[in-house]
Amino acid sequence: MAILLTGNSKIIVQGITGHQGQFHTKAMLNFGTNVVAGVTPGKAGENVYGVKVYDNVRSAVDETKADTAVVFVPAPFVKDAVIEDIDAGLSLVVIVTEHVPFHDVIDLLEYGQSKVTRIIGPNCPGIASSGLSKAGIIPNSILKPGNIGVLSRSGTLTYEIVNQITKAGLGESTVIGLGGDKVVGSTFTDLLSLFENDAQTSAVVMVGEIGGSAEEDAADFIKKNFSKPVIGFIAGKYAPPGKRMGHAGAIISGNKGTANSKITALESAGALIAASPEEVPRLLLESI
């Protein structure tokens, strides 16, 4: 039945009256997402593609019983926006916005964990449960209902690999972009545990990149706690040590965080590693 987002999810779009908010709200509605409200301070009473706009999250939740928010507000205002979501009791918040201050993210994660709110992002393409609902910016055209879960640190590679899965005649249960920042709301390990318990998901594709230890941590979890096939792809294999490659989290220190260390860890956990995005469907078909 997919994870985190279902056909019953009720979604608020924060920053709905901005250019990005409007554009992606339309795409979410076209996907079939149940967008029940928008929030932009000072714009209460307006509507965007038939979606009513509220001044604040609390009033939107009280009237619509929303459970999820997708955040398009500018980076300096993300902290206040997400605190509103947490205080309103939303179970899921997806932060698409990039360049959110590091310490703001730390504060939000601590606050969210003290309540009931799971955070995805920031700096991420969001979540899509194929055929059911979408919170974020993953293109509608590449998604197809199926049984493959996808977890990715890279937005662009998310789109490429999901497209390859769909073109091969497979399909996706839920696709999640974790975000490329050094600290993000949910990790591979957090989300693998949900896929393990999802009857619809038969295998998971994990798209990692250099920097940090998230993939190695996931490998340890897979070895001990994950029973389904995992196909991995690690970007940045030829990046020089100490070189930042686009994402704040994609920086190598010494022998840690290298593509080879991640590949070795995942292979030791039983994952199959694709040499290119195009190889992912073949490995999936061999595994399921």
Token representation of residue 103: 């310490």
- Going by the DSSP 8-state scheme, the letter that residue 69 receives in this structure is E
Element (H, E) at 273: strand 272-273
Give every strand in the sheet of 203-209, ordered side by side.
133-136, 126-129, 172-177, 145-152, 203-209, 230-235, 272-273
* H or E element that contains 216: helix 214-225
> For residue 89, which phi and psi values (nearest 5 degrees)?
85, 20
User: Is residue 247 flagged as an active site residue?
Assistant: yes
* Dihedral sign of CA atoms 7, 85, 157, 263 in order: negative
- Catalytic positions, written as ranges: 247
